[in-house]
Structure 1
Amino acid sequence: MSIHTFFQWYFRTPIFLRLLLTVSFFMVFFGMIIHFVEPHVFPTIFDGIWWAVITGSTVGYGDLVPVTIIGKILGVLLIIAGGGLVTFYMATVSASTVRYEQDLSQGKVEYRGEEHIIFVGWNERTKQLIDMIQEFAPNENIVLIDNTLDSISYKQYPIHFIQGNGSEDETLIRANIYKARAAIITSDPNMVEKQADQSSILATVAIRGMNNDIFIISEILTKEQIANAKRAGSDTIVRSNDFMSTLFFHSLYRKGRTHPFDTLVKQLSTQQYKQLEVPTELIGETFLHCSFEFLKQEDLLLGIEQAGELKINPPAKTILQEKDNLIVLSPLRQ
């Protein structure tokens, strides 16, 4: 490696690494010099380096001390040059750490992990889902993409935040879309329904275009946009409006009004949702038959995901196919 190439590499490295190399060079240099100047006091080069590190860092154990004038002059130079470098290095490392934490909270740091889940959009549903994942799958790595947040505390939410638009290539690259295993696209609550669906579909197109193998779940609010979401590349479509409307309807027209609607929510909090592949022995059977089989295990079969579409309480004669997924509600078991 030529001197020119070395200096090019040196000045392209991070500043804290450059300072560490410079400090190390000074310690080794002064350690070798003091060994040759006072070999009787510093019999090995390691002893000289030890003295240089202790002196340059201003610790000063005093176990090895130069006794000649030249040795003492070297000590003075080491304290002036090396001590300043060590102090500057520590200050730089501290400042870099603080700056990195700020960049991490503000979504400026690229994600370099693999097999992670990408969330597009920050809202109450995202918060609840992240809490559920942290409880039941604490080892899952989550990356959040959102352009409405200025910062998010990574200490409060153990996720990696990327500030930006989920439909832009540059943002998806920073989220390491190529190595992600799944993406969940939630609707923007600040937009009207039609615009929110268009935004979700655009994000779906961008994600699918950059990772053909990723599993994509899209939240769609209007029935008219379901076909477009499927064409865009969504594997699963969640229609939250239909689910919430059904809950409101049953709450409004239930026969007995002595029990508050909160009872339903309280009961659901004691259950856990599961998504299972159709057992081999149940392939070709009806949804009704499969429901009875799960009831034997005290599990409730809610619906199926068939051909990328989620069907809650489908017709009893619906035939289960090999690639279907079952949506099951089970009691929390200790």
Structure 2
Amino acid sequence: MPLFLKLTFKLLRLNHSLIVLLTLLLVLVSSTLAFLLEPDTFGSWFNALWWVMTTVATVGYGDYYPATVPGKVLAMLLYVFGIGLLSLLIGKIIDSLAELQRRREGGKLKFQGAGHVIVINWSKKAQLAVEELLASEAALAVVVVDDGAKHPFDHPRVHFVSGDPSSAEALEQAGIHHARSAIIFADPRIDDSSLVDGKSLLIASSIERAAPAVHTTVEIVLEKHILNFRHVQVNDFILSHDAVSRLAVRSALKEGSADLFTQLLSRTYGEDVFEVPADPAWVTYGDAFRSLLGMGATLIADRTDMGINRKLESPIPSDARLFVITDGETITKIRSERR
């Protein structure tokens, strides 16, 4: 019994590749031996392989079985060693899948994709942002980076990285060099507003140092810190609670306007803002406005300039970025026609 236990422990410590190799070798050698011992019984090497597989898998259909003593001895050896080795292989596979799931839930796996959006610091606002991102594009992947210990949003397209978001290791694990953009939310677990912005600033600096081409959006708690974020080349910033306050004021002073802004803020409700490629046939903003209006879209801006509808006779610059208000079906049609 001690010898058997020692052998068992040694088998359990074997790495996965070696167990796969031993199992494959056992099946192939046993199939060859079975066919050489009883060619009339099996008729072909494949039938012998079929018999070995049904034997070690404990299925035992009974369509083939050895008739000679050597063949039966081989079968008994398969009962002892073949079934045990295959069971060990299956157990290793199950353990590997379980370990993979544990590592995924614990944020220990590196993200392998590209063109994804990184969401940093988990909170209710971050959750809403992730839900909006998933609803915006069917194939978009989201990577959440937070120093929590468990996956905060279980979804096939949401990957979790556990660690300090300001560290190069965590950003590398999140695939920062291949990311489309990054959103840094204010950490709700910090009470001091200055410390909250300080952490966000440190994360933004780390992203700028690691991948300056990645578009970065940061939530800022105190307005006086805006200049600090401009210094680290943050692309966009949003003042915390500022949008909500302004929306409430507009609703109070201009009844019904809040719903318009809500539509523009959500990809899943009403109309939305989209960028459209410029048509070479458009010479002026007026040409673009009339053409897009005929297709069901309203031209509203060139980059951040929302006054272009008051200068429709002005020529469209070569570096223009035109934005329209329309729905998803219309923008898909417009983009397909621009190709």
Under a length normalisation based on structure 1, what TM-score does the superposition of the two structures give? 0.76
Note the C-alpha offset of 1:123. Answer: 2.1
Q: What is the CA deviation profile of residues 163-204 of structure 1, one whole-angstrom value per residue up to 9, with x for unaligned ones?
A: 112111111121122222221212222333322222222112
Aligned ranges 1:105-184 → 2 under 5 Å: 105-148=105-148, 150-155=150-155, 158-184=157-183
Partner of 1:55: 55
Partner of 2:333: none
Sort the Cα spacing of 1:215 and 1:332 in 2 relative to 1 into closer, same or farther, 3 A.
closer
User: What amino acid is aligned across from residue 212 of structure 1 in structure 2?
Assistant: P
Note the C-alpha offset of 1:82. Answer: 0.8
Partner of 2:19: 19
The separation in 2 between residues aligned to 1:329 and 1:220, in whole angstroms, is 27
Sort the Cα spacing of 1:143 and 1:81 in 2 relative to 1 into closer, same or farther, 3 A.
same
The separation in 2 between residues aligned to 1:326 and 1:187, in whole angstroms, is 31
Contact 2:120–2:183 under 8 Å retained in 1: yes
Contact 1:119–1:185 under 8 Å retained in 2: yes
The separation in 1 between residues aligned to 2:247 and 2:307, in whole angstroms, is 14
Aligned ranges 1:199-238 → 2 under 5 Å: 199-238=199-238
Contact 1:106–1:152 under 8 Å retained in 2: no
Q: After alignment, is 100-109 or 53-62 more displaced? A: 100-109
The separation in 1 between residues aligned to 2:280 and 2:250, in whole angstroms, is 35
Q: What is the CA deviation profile of residues 232-252 of structure 1, one whole-angstrom value per residue up to 9, with x for unaligned ones?
A: 232222334432332233445
The separation in 2 between residues aligned to 1:210 and 1:75, in whole angstroms, is 61
Q: Which runs of 5+ in 1 are unaligned?
A: 1-10
Q: Which runs of 5+ in 2 are unaligned?
A: 1-10, 331-339
Contact 1:197–1:221 under 8 Å retained in 2: yes
User: What amino acid is aligned across from residue 175 of structure 2 in structure 1?
Assistant: N
Partner of 1:8: none
The separation in 1 between residues aligned to 2:27 and 2:292, in whole angstroms, is 71
SS at match of 1:216: strand
Contact 2:277–2:322 under 8 Å retained in 1: yes
User: What amino acid is aligned across from residue 63 of structure 1 in structure 2?
Assistant: D
SS at match of 2:112: coil
Partner of 1:7: none
User: What amino acid is aligned across from residue 218 of structure 1 in structure 2?
Assistant: V
Partner of 2:4: none
Sort the Cα spacing of 1:246 and 1:304 in 2 relative to 1 into closer, same or farther, 3 A.
farther
The separation in 1 between residues aligned to 2:228 and 2:271, in whole angstroms, is 33
Aligned ranges 1:1-80 → 2 under 5 Å: 15-80=15-80
Q: What is the CA deviation profile of residues 207-256 of structure 1, one whole-angstrom value per residue up to 9, with x for unaligned ones?
A: 2222232222222232332232233232222334432332233445x277
SS at match of 1:144: strand
Partner of 2:335: none
SS at match of 1:40: helix
The separation in 1 between residues aligned to 2:160 and 2:94, in whole angstroms, is 22
The separation in 1 between residues aligned to 2:282 and 2:195, in whole angstroms, is 41
The separation in 1 between residues aligned to 2:279 and 2:127, in whole angstroms, is 32
The separation in 2 between residues aligned to 1:293 and 1:189, in whole angstroms, is 46
Under a length normalisation based on structure 2, what TM-score does the superposition of the two structures give? 0.75
Kindly tell me the number of residue pairs found equivalent between the two proteins: 309
RMSD: 3.7
Partner of 2:198: 198
